[in-house]
Amino acid sequence: MPPSKPSGSGSRTKAVDSAASTPEPAATASTPAMPDPKTELPAYLLRLQSALQPLTRNAAAIPTHGDLAFHRSMDRKLAKKLDAESNRLLQSISQLASWIASDSRAPNIPLAHSSASGSSPDKAKAKAKVELELDMADVTTNESFASNLGELVDHLLESADTCLDEYTGKLAPRSLANAATADANGDADATSTHGRMQAMTAVQNGKALPKTGNLPAWVLNAPIPPPQRNFTTKPDNSPDTLWQPSLKYGKPNAVVPLGHVNPPRLGADGQPLPRGPRRGMYCAEGDPLDNPYYHEILHADPPTHALSKPEPRAKDQPPPPLNEKDPALSTDSSPFQWVSTKAQIEALRDHLDEPRVTEIAIDLEHHSYRTYQGIVCLMQLSTRWGDWIIDTLSDDVRQHAELLNSSFTHPDKVKVLHGANHDVLWLQRDLGLYLVNLFDTYHATNVLLFPSHGLGYLMARYCNFDADKRYQLADWRIRPLPKEMLYYARSDTHTLLYIYDNLRHELMEAGGVDAIRDVFTRSKEVAMATYAKEEWDADGETREGWRSVWRKWGGEAALGTEERKEVRQMKREERLVRALHRWRDGVAREQDESPRYILGANNLMMLAARAPTKVEGVLACVPPNAVQLKKRAPELAQLIAEEVEAWQKDHDEKSEERRMKIAASLEKDDDEMDLGEAVARTAPDEVDQPGAVISAISNAARTQDQLNTGVWDTPSRKVRPTADTLAAPTSKLFGSSNQPSTPAATRIEAIKAQFVDSLGSILSPAPSPDVDLALAAEPSLATREVTPPLAPTPDAPTSAQVEEESDSDKDEYIVVSASSSKKDGKKDAKRKTKRKSEVADREQPKKRRGKFEGEFDFATAPNAFESPKPQHEPKGKNKPKGDKRDKKDKDEAVFRQPRDRARRKIDARTTM
């Protein structure tokens, strides 16, 4: 039982006794009585439909959850009414669910608990009355609804389908006595199996199957025990052993003896093809060289009667039609025989060995759902003198079917089949039969370029016969066969030889003898195929492989699955799909069932998505009627838990490896950061000379002993001894140098002057007589001794000399980057272009302002961080118009106010 909710979250409504339920209104004059469905079913259905229509219409008009929540918040009375109505509906649902769950055939649901009392043996056999306690979460949440009410709804729908099939005649009516006995014993599976057996018996006794629509369930999957359990030779599903062909009656029509070693097959490039099993078009195939009749198939020539046009009588006269009401009827014009014993096999062999029999039409009916490797259920065979249907489920037939190799491998007898890729393998596996001189009508349709290539198309084209292809998926293990299935099976080969004659005629008309030979050559590749047992594919790329299932059902999560080859790289769901797929393959081999029967793809994906590690969670993901799978629920839960634990371990290891790689990459990036490398050009006469110092900081470091010069010390570098050594005289702004004046130093002084000129233009207002005493009082801002600037000399270097000097100085040292790119070259080109433009600008002499003839005195400059005092001017009309200077001063005052506030804050911090 689910835990009760806390107060305020909704009260749990308990199912009350049936007496407390809402009573059904009594019939009145205006309301007629409800018809009895047992006697008046049409009237009952009409009344039921008229009652459901307004209910469905009103349900569709109910507002959404969001609208109801809005109205709840606006009207308290409405909220109370909605709560009361919800409780009433929950009460009704609880009563209905309790009544349904009390049925013996209903599935057990988690919320149900028994209320039966007493120890009567009759009551012990019957299913106890079930009571349900539902709350709002049980009918609104997906998980609780699916596992409780959803199971009951599915049970009702299945019961309704069964009843409708019984009413329409698709199923035989159930015996009320047997049903009551099964209900009393609580055996729902036995009831279902008994009903299907009754329906199958009714059809076998002459009741017709529906001509349209889907076939009944018992036709697709008959409720019969697996017939292979009664065979003398049991199928070997072990993956450790290879399938070996057996010819206990020898090798008829042999050209080379058994055990002959065939030469290797060559590919298109002339190289030998690899030996061993291979992946065929639909299933695994063995090496063609292992086929006992490989040599005979390869070297067989088509018989002469197959390379000529058929007689007009054979082409124009189709075989007589079969009796649809009694397809087993044998007539003089169309003989028929059912073969199920060794004596009948021997009689058929004698007929096929007759010289007059030159063509044999063959077809097979196969079943693969209730067996691992598959099983041949029927073999239809026709000659121009009759039809035979061989019961290959008969153990006597399976033990002696190899007797037919005397005609099946005879090179003068053409074996006509349609789409024989599977039939050739099934004949070898179950019956030990091989085909020499095969004519596959499917390849004939390809040579003739027909628009369609199916057997149904050929039957409609040449015989005007519409085959009911629904029976391709029927369960051909059913014995005796219903007349509809027998009619379908006999029709396949009854008209196949007539189709063969017409195809041969059209081949002769289209391409002559070469066209017919082409069909025989293509059919040889089909006949050479050898059967091999299926192996579980670890890569999952086969038609039923785990990766194919994952691609089909996994959605977006399956994208890129082919790139994740290792198990450690796979996602959790992907690993679970792989593990569950392998598990079901092993169980299917053990029980001789198909993997789809053991665990369907949809249930497999549900288990992989939910990953339940407990038995209860596994049972919620499997169908209710999967009895054998439910018995293995603990095994599945343990498998899923182990796989999830392994995935989590691999996930943690990958996360740790990723973290270590990122850390190592960061350390490597720090060690290999692109800082550049100074490389000196080699010169014939290099001397060690200390670098020239032109900065004010370096000059102060040399002249003032109290400074720590170790921070700015630079190692000596090798330079060419030249007279143009950079130096500059003493300057309070740029420092000083003890080196003699040179043209380069003169040029640097000119640049300094331009800098001072630009700085003076910013501080253009005239010096104010009011000196900021606060700034002057600070010792760090004391005025320094002013030194007159160096005047330009007449022999100042030209622009060409400056450029040459700049280039020579730039070539002195080259910065080599560890990660050079094309962008560096573009940046250098832009710098060079900019340098040339600057030099060209310097060549044009600028007119100096007279105010800055001497070096600018910083001590007499006004404080840039303090706005000048505003001057009071007369208001009104006396104020001169167009005075832009006052407006400029006002703007400068506003601009300097934030700086004044910043300075005051600095002064305040220094005084604290």
Q: Where are the domains of the chain?
A: 11-18+69-117+126-168, 277-531, 546-671, 679-852, 865-869+885-912
Write out pLDDT tens, residues 42-93: 788 888 888 888 888 888 888 887 788 888 888 888 888 888 888 888 888 8
| DSSP label at residue 332 | S
Dist. CA 532–CA 285, nearest whole Å? 5
Least confident range from 313-317, 738-742, 771-775: namely: 771-775
Least confident range from 283-297, 417-431, 829-843: namely: 829-843
Kindly give, in sequence order, each residue whose CB lies less than 8 Å from that of residue 101, ignoring residues fewer than 6 positions away.
Answer: 108, 109, 112, 130, 132, 152
Say yes or no to pLDDT of 175 above 80: no
Position 838 scores a pLDDT of 66
Write out pLDDT tens, residues 541-593: 888 899 999 999 888 889 999 999 899 999 999 999 999 999 999 999 999 99
Say yes or no to pLDDT of 415 above 70: yes
Cβ neighbours of 286 (radius 10 Å)? 22
Q: State the pTM of this model.
A: 0.57
> In which residue are the tokens 């209860």 written?
616
Instruction: Give 461: exposed, middle or buried? Use CB within 10 Å, 0-12, 13-18, 19+.
Output: middle
Angle, vertex CA 218, rays to CA 336 and CA 588, nearest 5: 100
Q: Which CATH number fits domain 277-531: 3.40.50.720, 2.60.40.10, 3.30.420.10, 1.10.10.10?
A: 3.30.420.10
Write out pLDDT tens, residues 332-378: 889 999 999 999 999 999 999 999 999 999 999 999 999 999 999 99
Position 301 scores a pLDDT of 95
Position 375 scores a pLDDT of 96
Q: Which CATH number fits domain 546-671: 3.30.1360.120, 2.60.40.10, 3.60.20.10, 1.10.150.80?
A: 1.10.150.80
Given a contact cutoff of 8 angstroms between Cβ atoms, the answer to whether 207 and 230 are in contact is no
* pLDDT (average), residues 121-132: 56
Closest Cα to residue 692, out of 657, 660, 734? 734
Given a contact cutoff of 8 angstroms between Cβ atoms, the answer to whether 440 and 361 are in contact is no
| DSSP label at residue 304 | G
Position 300 scores a pLDDT of 95
Share of the chain above pLDDT 70, in %: 64
Angle, vertex CA 677, rays to CA 671 and CA 680, nearest 5: 155
Given a contact cutoff of 8 angstroms between Cβ atoms, the answer to whether 524 and 435 are in contact is no
* pLDDT (average), residues 846-862: 52
Position 673 scores a pLDDT of 55
Position 728 scores a pLDDT of 44
Given a contact cutoff of 8 angstroms between Cβ atoms, the answer to whether 735 and 695 are in contact is yes
